[in-house]
Structures are given as structure tokens and as C-alpha cells.
Homo-oligomer: A and B are copies of this chain.
Amino acid sequence: MSDRIEINSAYIEQITALIEANKSAELSVILSDLHIADIAEIIEDLQLDDAHFLFDLIEEEKSAAVLVELEDDTREELLSGLTPKEIAEEVIDNLESDDAADVIGELSEDKKEKVLAHIEDIEHASDISDLLTYPEDTAGGLMAKELIKVNENWNTLQCLKEMRKQAEDVKKVYTIYVVDDNNKLLGSLSLRRLLLAEKGSAIKSIVNTDIVSVKATEDDEDVANILNKYDLIALPVVDDLNRLIGRITFDDVMDVVKEEAEKDYQMASGISEDIESSDSVWELTRARLPWLLIGMIGGLLGAKVIGIFDLENNFELAFFIPLIAAMGGNVGVQSAAIVVQGLANDSLKMENIVQKLIKELGVGLLNGIICSIIILGAAFGLGYSIELSLTVSISLLAVIIFAALFGTFVPLTLERYKIDPALATGPFITTVNDVLGLFIYFMIGQAIL
């Protein structure tokens, strides 16, 4: 039984040493024992030259699957060393249609054509070029063409016979789909049901017609929500006439869920590209710079706002600039995050924006009153004048309420216009709230002091 191995720095060093010493035979033995996901993880951790060397040692059947598991940039690098013919014969022929389409989809237009032309199995080639027509972030972009389907008019014996034939091409079988003579999807049949059925039962008598399907054009996030909501292992994909054209499995969806969550998290943290801690210093800098520039523009605007007021004669107002700015930012991010998460979960209904804003007003009021009472006591207690303490307290209440409403309103509005609401979280909302919070603070300050 293969135990899980731990791929730590020491392990990577061992592998690197073997590569540097050209120990191909030893490495091949190690590779043959490893799971493809582990091989992919090792390759990600190697220097490029070493990665090429190791990749060439993987047996052909396994190497295609390893490629699929790799990060996009690593895969591109390894594929650049192969001719179109090699890609077709060594990689594409060993992959199911969805993975094959993903790999080919990343190639240049020119190379794409050439690779497709070199695929010997015409059906495989046509499946792949069909899948390439769907945008990546739709059900069509996720689905595979390989599936097992049986006719409603068969019985279990015919079904088993046909399945044996079809199953040669389909690596993982989760559900058998039942169609009519026109390939229209009628229902499904679990392998369990088939095993428990009387020998020779009619498919019609055991088919489960309570089946959820998706259209090829549906958004991949919606597909993930559906599969997750109904705890499904696979979803059949149909065309507009309800004809079965593919299936999406849970592992494809798991990747979508993870990527979406990571994207939202990165957006909320002010990171603009999909990066990993293992990326280069330059990639990491580039992903972080855009939000920092926005923050700087906000900071310059803040300086201008402060400059409007007579700070020289009310310099104590400056003491609480950080507090006002920080609280506006924090409240805004909290409000936006709750909206973004509700939208991602599909638990937030878009129709009642006004209702949502009224509720948020309540939350802002409650938080604002609690915080402003505390700060009034704390500031006065710490020896600041009652006028200053009052100014800070009243401003804080105003800023919290404003930030809560603004933080709720912006992502809802973005969603309405089909823009990713996660854009509203993180530095954007913080920066806007900073500047507007300062303005409110100094306005109230000028009035009171």
C-alpha cells in the first residue's frame, strides 16, 4: 500500500541531488511509486532545468496526468519542450476530453491547430475541439464528453453489456445516464441501484427521474453551488433541447470552489493576481502594487482634505486621524465582506437591496453608538478636552454608519452591473472610507472647536 509521503525541503533536496548526479534509474523507481499529485508537487518545487529532467523520466501514461495537475506556468514551460506531434500523442491521447481541452486551450492558436491535427482518434479530436468552443468559466468549459449512457428501453443485462463497452473509455464512472432514442436526458441510474436490481429488470423500472442537470452556458460558480447544494457527485450537462452532451464531476467543481474562495480572499487582502508564496519576488511585487497605488492616491487625497481645514489652530484634531480613518476602513470592509459572502453562497437575495440597507443601518447604528460612547469616555478619561472627545465621538458614530451603508451598497451595486462584487472589498473600500471619514471628522471638528 502506498503511504502518503511528506514533500518537505529535505525531500526536495534529495531529489535535486539525484537529478544533479544524473541518477535516472533511481529516479524512475521513485517516480513509479509516487502518485501523480505528489509528482506534480515535487516538480513545482524544483528549478526549471531539474523539472524538465524529471518530467522526461515519468512514464508516458502518468506524465499526461501529471501535466494536468501542474500550475499553468509550469505546464506551459514543460510543454514548450515538446513538438505538436509529441503533445498530441504523448499527452492528449492519454487525457480525457476536458483535461485535454484545458491543456490545448492554453497553447497558441497556431500550435493548437497543429496539435489537433495530430490526434489520431478522430472522435477524441472532435470532442476536444467542441469543448474548446465553450468559455472556460461555464459549465461547457468544465464538462467532459466521456460518460456512460444507456437507453431507457434496455434492461439491466443490455445495460451492463453496453457499459462494459463504454467503460473502457471512461476512467471514472459515478453515474449512468438514461436517455431516450433522441439522446434526451431522462434520468440517472446509480451503480448501486444497478447492482441491487433484479437481473434483467427494465431500465425504465429502476431509473431515477429526479435528476438535476445544467445547461452548457451556465456560469461555473452556479454549477459549483448546484453540485454543492444537492451533494451531487456529478452533474449532467444538456443543450437547449435537453440532449445530453457532457458531465461535470465533483473534482472539477472542488477546484472551482477553491479558486473562487482564493480569488475573493486575495481581493479582500489587496492582491490583484492569482499568486502563491512560491512565486518570484517580481510576480509578488506586481500583484501587490496596484492596490498600494490606490492606497497612495487615497493618502494624497486625505492630505488635501486635511489641508482644507485650519489645522494649525486646532492641531489636537490630528491626534485622532488614525482612529477615524481606521474605523471607517474596518467597518466598510466588514460590511462589504458580508455582502460578498452572501452573494457567493447564493444566500443573499438580490431583490431586497433596500431591506438589506435598512438592516445594515441598524447594525451600523448599534456598533456606532457602542463605539462612540466608549470613545467619549476613553478620550475624556485619557485627558483630552471635552470638546475634542465629543468631536471624536460624534464623528465616529457618523463615520461608522456611513461606512456600513457604503460598504453594503457598493458590492450590491457592482453585482447588479455584473461586476465582481469582491472588487469592493479590501483597499478600495478602505481608501474611500478613509478620505470621506476624514472629511466628516474635520467638518464636525470645525463646527465644535
Residues of chain A whose beta carbon lies under 8 Å from any beta carbon of chain B: 1-2, 4, 8-10, 35, 37, 41, 44, 160, 163-164, 167-168, 170, 172-174, 185-187, 190-192, 195-196, 209-213, 226, 228-231, 233, 250-251, 254, 257-258, 261-262, 264-266, 268-271, 275-278, 281-282, 284-285, 288-289, 291-293, 295-296, 298-300, 302-304, 306-307, 311-312, 315, 318-327, 329-331, 333-334, 336-339, 341-342, 345, 347-349, 351-352, 356, 359, 362-363, 366-367, 370-371, 374-375, 378-379, 382, 384, 400, 425-427, 430-431, 434-435, 438
For the complex, give the distance between the alpha carbons of A431 and B325 in Å. Answer: 11
- Is there an interface contact between B351 and A326, defined as CB atoms closer than 8 Å? no
Residues on B with beta carbons closer than 8 Å to the beta carbon of A211: 1-2
- Least CB distance, A82 to chain B, in whole angstroms: 24
Instruction: State the Cβ distance, A356 to closest chain B Cβ, in Å.
Output: 7
Q: When the two chains form their complex, are residues B330 and A427 in contact, meaning their CB atoms are under 8 A apart? A: yes
Given A257-B254, A363-B285, also A326-B295 (CB < 8 A): yes
- Complexed CA–CA distance, A8 and B341 (Å): 17
Q: Which 10 A-B pairs have the closest CB atoms?
A: A299-B323, A269-B337, A261-B261, A302-B322, A318-B318, A277-B342, A303-B319, A191-B191, A173-B192, A281-B362
- Asked, given contacts A322-B434, A367-B292, whether A251 binds B231 with beta carbons under 8 Å apart, the answer is yes
Q: Chain B residue with minimal CB distance to A370? A: B289
Given contacts A9-B352, A295-B326, A330-B295, contact A338 B250 (CB under 8 A): no
Q: Which of B160, B172, B229, B339 contacts A195 (CB 8 A)?
A: B160
Please state the number of chain copies in the assembly. 2
Q: Which residue in chain B gives the minimum CB-CB distance to A211?
A: B1
With A285-B363, A351-B9 in contact, is A322–B1 under 8 Å at CB? no
B192 touches A327 (CB 8 A): no
List chain B residues, Cβ under 8 A from A275: 338
Q: In the bound complex, how far is the Cα of B347 from the Cα of A41, in angstroms?
A: 8
| A140 to B1 CA separation, bound complex (whole angstroms) | 21
B266–A265 CB distance below 8 A: no
